[in-house]
Structure 1
Amino acid sequence: MNIETYRQYCLSKKGVTESIPFPKLPSVLVFKVKGKMFTATDVDTFKSFSIKCEPETIEELRAQYDALQEPSYFSKKHWSSVVVDGSIPDKILYEWLDVSYNLVVAKLTKKERLELENL
Structure 2
Amino acid sequence: MSLFERNGFDAFVTGLPGTSFVDQWDSHVAKVGSKVFTLLSGEGTAARVVAKCPEESFEILTALDGIRQAPYFAKRKWVEIGGNSPLSDEELVHYLTRSYELVAAGLTKKLRQELGITQIS
Question: Partner of 1:49 in structure 2?
Answer: 49
Is the 1:55–1:78 Cα contact (8 Å) retained in structure 2?
yes
Q: 2:81 is aligned with what amino acid? A: V
Hey, what's the Cα distance between the residues in 2 that align with 1:58 and 1:86?
14
Is the 1:67–1:88 Cα contact (8 Å) retained in structure 2?
no
Hey, what's the Cα distance between the residues in 1 that align with 2:93 and 2:111?
24
Hey, what's the Cα distance between the residues in 1 that align with 2:107 and 2:11?
23
Q: CA deviation at 1:86?
A: 5.7
Q: 1:58 is aligned with what amino acid? A: F
Q: CA deviation at 1:110?
A: 1.1
Question: Partner of 2:103 in structure 1?
Answer: 104
Question: Partner of 1:89 in structure 2?
Answer: 88
Is the 1:29–1:43 Cα contact (8 Å) retained in structure 2?
no
Q: 2:55 is aligned with what amino acid? A: P
Hey, what's the Cα distance between the residues in 1 that align with 2:117 and 2:69?
35
Q: 1:111 is aligned with what amino acid? A: K
Q: CA deviation at 1:67?
A: 2.2
Is the 1:58–1:77 Cα contact (8 Å) retained in structure 2?
no
Question: Partner of 1:6 in structure 2?
Answer: 9
- TM-score, normalised to structure 2's length? 0.82
Hey, what's the Cα distance between the residues in 2 that align with 1:118 and 1:105?
8
Hey, what's the Cα distance between the residues in 1 that align with 2:114 and 2:31?
15
Moved over 3 A (4+): 43-46
Q: 2:58 is aligned with what amino acid? A: I
